[in-house]
Amino acid sequence: MSFKLSFLLLMNVFIVIFFFAVRKSLAAEEDYFTICSVSRNCGRLNIKFPFFILEQDSACGYPGFNISCRNNTQPILSFPDGDYVIHDIFYQNQSFRVSKDIAFARDAVCSHSISNISFPEDRFYLPSDQRQIFLLFNCDLTLLTRELSQSKVNCSAEANTTLALFNNDPMQYFASEMCNNTVVAPVATSYEGEGSIEDILNRGFVLNWIASNCSTCEASGGKCGFDYSTYHFKCFCPDRPHAWYCPPASSVAGAVVLILLVVCLIKRFSFKDGTEGDKKIEAFLKGHEFQTPKRYRYSDIKTMTNSFRDKLGKGGFGDVYRGKLPDGRQVAVKILNKSKGNGEEFMNEVASVSRTSHVNVVSLLGFCFEGRRRALIYEFMKNGSLNKFIFQEKEQRQLKWETLYQIAVGIARGLEYLHRGCNMRILHFDIKPHNILLDDEFRPKISDFGLARLCPEKESAISMTGARGTAGYIAPEVYSRNFGRVSHKSDVYSYGMMILEMVGGRQNINVEVDHTSEIYFPYWIYSRIELDEDLGLQGVMDEDDRERVRKMIIVSLWCIQTDPSNRPPMSRVVEMMEGNIDSLCIPPKPFSSSPPRSPPANPEVQPVS
């Protein structure tokens, strides 16, 4: 024991001597505190982290956020499709308003010289509520309806008709059928309908940025910057650079000794597996800090949830509580249970959802990681999960068929985005009603990415060492590779099973049904739709409802084909759902027999690590 104490004291003395020995070598780094403290302005805008002016030291900003200050009045940011003028910067919510450097003219709108916006998606993204204008070119005048004629842009060349519609216009689909080319441009939400099309385009739009949050560093008296040698965020302080914030002014040597003692105690009393898992997650977060949302302390989580007072429900990996952010926004806070597989589900959710920005995918607003205390902060969905609206025993439907149909289409769009719209293809592996959340207007959002897998878009299949998902929704190939390779088609199968449940208002495997022929709803409904028999479904009011129901059934039966190659991709599913019912044919029988009467005792199949 005395030898260990002597060794510890000797180490402390060594650290103090070492600290003062390297103190001088840190002088160059300390200069960044002075350099980054100089206020920079371009016109009326204050330019600070993550932005930096080209003439300024790049260490004061984030990579890719360099701007040029034209004539000392206009901040210019360069994107792959050209230069953009920055009009406003909102540092508090990490957003800014930009417009094209070269103003749009009527000739540009009419001549198809406008291109889709292109920006680095690892640094910037459009807000989920961003309005967009669709410019459709080379439209066929003979098909122009009275409603669409109001969207016509007056061009000098009548043979080259251009239409302009906003993204919420119900005529958008019909317009796309009669026009050859489409360009989508984001626009400011507050100016819709005011002025000409070129005026609306020239007012610009809002972008959010992805970079380390600077508030903690600034609050501690530091200046935010970036260390290009380690490619990590730095907080430049009066004494030296620190990882996130400047520590209180005190004896640095004493702080080093205290840290050493704390580390020794942590190593003494921590469990080995927990320590290894924490290191893995911390390394993951540092490696993805460019994309991860705001990180909160556990004390912040307790404050925003009012000490976990209002429990909303229980998810696959933890309990969910209602919370409120400092800016007043309501959120749903998921407190994760004890992690399995070194925190795989935590990393899956952070890695997957932080890459997304889509109206039909839930937004991850923040997270907390303090050892075993882990939490995920999502946008609040007023109407909860789809689960409670479709599984009702002998009760009248709460949702109309039109609403259910729009929910089905929205989920399809969200899955199509996950499979094709991201830099990396995201496979969800747990699509079911419980994981579909509904906002106050019953717009669906895909949630719970604990079992998700990322794979490059060019790869059509992935390797897995075990099944994952929930019984009743898992594709056959996930259980047994004899049915084919696991791919994005596995999510298509889960989507099809879920849509059938939405139609029937019952779980596809129902052990309470008395008649064996009706125990498996997909089997039951296929036989009836094949014979064109009445389905006897509640709430079908008119021919439009019957068409919606039939379309949902036919599409879902295509999705649950046993052979993955026979299932349509989600892009085709969206087309089928939004297209004409007459263009759909009944698929082959997707199964050879009804499944066993008793479902597995444990319906939740967890990933095998």
CA angle 518–519–521, rounded 5-degree value: 70
Q: Residue 584: which residues within 8 A CB-CB, separation 6 or more?
A: 551, 554, 555, 576
Tell me the sheet residues that pair with 76.
68, 85
- With b for 16 or more beta-carbon neighbours within 10 A and e for fewer, the 289-312 pattern comes to bbbbbbbbeeebbbebbeeeeeeb
CA distance 131 to 167: 7
**Within 10 A of 148 (CB to CB), how many other CB atoms are there?**
21
Tell me the sheet residues that pair with 245.
none
Q: Residue 328: which residues within 8 A CB-CB, separation 6 or more?
A: none
Of 198, 553, 568, 586, nearest to 404 (Cα)? 553
Own/partner contacts of 243-246, CB < 8 Å, gap of 24 or more, are 244/216, 244/217, 245/216, 245/217, 245/219, 245/220, 246/217, 246/220, 246/221, 246/222
C-alpha separations of 396 from 498, 527, 535 in Å? 20, 25, 16
What 3-state class would DSSP assign to 373? strand
Q: Quick one: DSSP state of residue 159?
A: T
Q: Are 374 and 303 in contact (CB under 8 A)?
A: no
Q: Residue 461: which residues within 8 A CB-CB, separation 6 or more?
A: 485, 486, 487
Q: Which of 57, 273, 327, 430 is catalytic?
A: 430
Backbone angles phi, psi at 426, to 5 degrees: -110, 120
What 3-state class would DSSP assign to 557? helix
H helices, E strands: number in the chain:
18, 28
Q: Are 40 and 53 in contact (CB under 8 A)?
A: yes
Active site residue 430: yes
C-alpha separations of 232 from 47, 118, 289 in Å? 21, 26, 8
CA distance 361 to 292: 16
What 3-state class would DSSP assign to 288? coil
- Cα 193 → chain centroid: 30
**For the chain, how many residues are written?**
609
**334 annotated ligand binder:** yes
**Within 10 A of 110 (CB to CB), how many other CB atoms are there?**
21
Interaxial angle between packed helices 570-578 and 543-559, expressed in degrees from 0 to 180 and rounded to the nearest 10? 160
CA distance 319 to 336: 7
CA distance 491 to 133: 31
Q: Can you say which residues are annotated as belonging to the binding site for ATP?
A: 334
Active site positions, annotated: 430
* Known binding-site residue numbers: 334
